[in-house]
Amino acid sequence: MGDSDHSSDPSVRLEELIDESVKVKRRAYCPYSKFPVGAAVLGCDGRIYTGCNVECAVYPLTMCAERNAITKAVSEGCKKFTAVVITSDLKNSIITPCGACRQIIAEFGMDAEVYMTKSDRSYTKLTLRELLPLGFGPDSLQEEKIIVNGAPIPTIQQ
Ligand code: THU
């Protein structure tokens, strides 16, 4: 195994990431939408974590491919990512992450590159910062808050 096998540089691992994303897409559980999606996340640890969409008869409980891949990575101990590759069966359009997935990816860093592919493996690459401008994130919670009479504004207690 060469050094590039453990690289966290997406440009070195891109073909592999697309392959893994296409492979996991075959495991999609999408009987309702019939719209399989695969995602492969490259961790700063150089490991690739994959996920497919998993739907539910209670439709809103559906889990997107990207969120599945991210939650798998986090539960395996990896919380920093350099890239997320997304694949679908769309012939003429790239697959773009939904708003909820952008928010979840943003939770772990705005600099991750998102590769939104077409079925011919061509792609558009944008960073999370570009995909979620003015996003609310972990830093937002830490910003200075208004103080009234030396204390934060109390919430209404029932
Ligand atoms: N879906 C994803 O998994 N990722 C995306 O980027 C867009 C949409 C899934 C959710 C649902 O199972 C199906 O695609 C149709 O919305």
- 129 with 105: CB under 8 angstroms? no
Which of 39, 27, 116 is closest to 73 using CA atoms? Answer: 39
Q: Based on the structure, what is the number of domains in the chain? A: 1
Query: Can you give the pTM of this predicted structure?
Result: 0.93
- Is 123 among the domain residues? yes
- pLDDT tens digits along 105-153: 999 999 999 999 999 999 999 999 999 999 999 999 999 999 888 888 8
- Domain of residue 62 covers 10-152
- Is 5 among the domain residues? no
Which residue owns the Cα nearest ligand 1 atom 5? 97
Atom of ligand 1 nearest to the CA of 54: 12
- Is 53 among the domain residues? yes
- Is 4 among the domain residues? no
Residues taking part in catalysis: 66
pLDDT over threshold 50, residue 1: no
pLDDT over threshold 60, residue 3: no
Compute, in angstroms, the gap from residue 20 CA to the centroid of ligand 1: 17
Instruction: For residue 4, name the pLDDT band (cuts at 50, 70, 90).
Output: low
Q: What is the CATH number of the domain that holds 93?
A: 3.40.140.10
Is 53 among the annotated ligand-binding positions? yes
- Is 129 among the domain residues? yes
Atom of ligand 1 nearest to the CA of 55: 12
- Is 33 among the domain residues? yes
Is 143 among the annotated ligand-binding positions? no
- 51 with 66: CB under 8 angstroms? yes
Residues enclosing ligand 1, CB less than 6 A?
A: 30, 33, 35, 37, 53, 55, 62, 64-66, 86, 95, 97-98, 101
- Is 17 among the domain residues? yes
- Is 3 among the domain residues? no
Look at 13 and 151; give whichever has higher pLDDT.
13
Q: How far apart, in whole angstroms, are the C-alpha atoms of residue 53 and residue 71?
A: 12
In this structure, are strands 81-88 and 113-117 parallel, antiparallel, or unpaired? parallel
Is 98 among the annotated ligand-binding positions? yes
Which residue owns the Cα nearest ligand 1 atom 4? 64
- pLDDT tens digits along 38-62: 999 999 999 999 999 999 999 999 9
For position 16, what pLDDT does the model report? 98
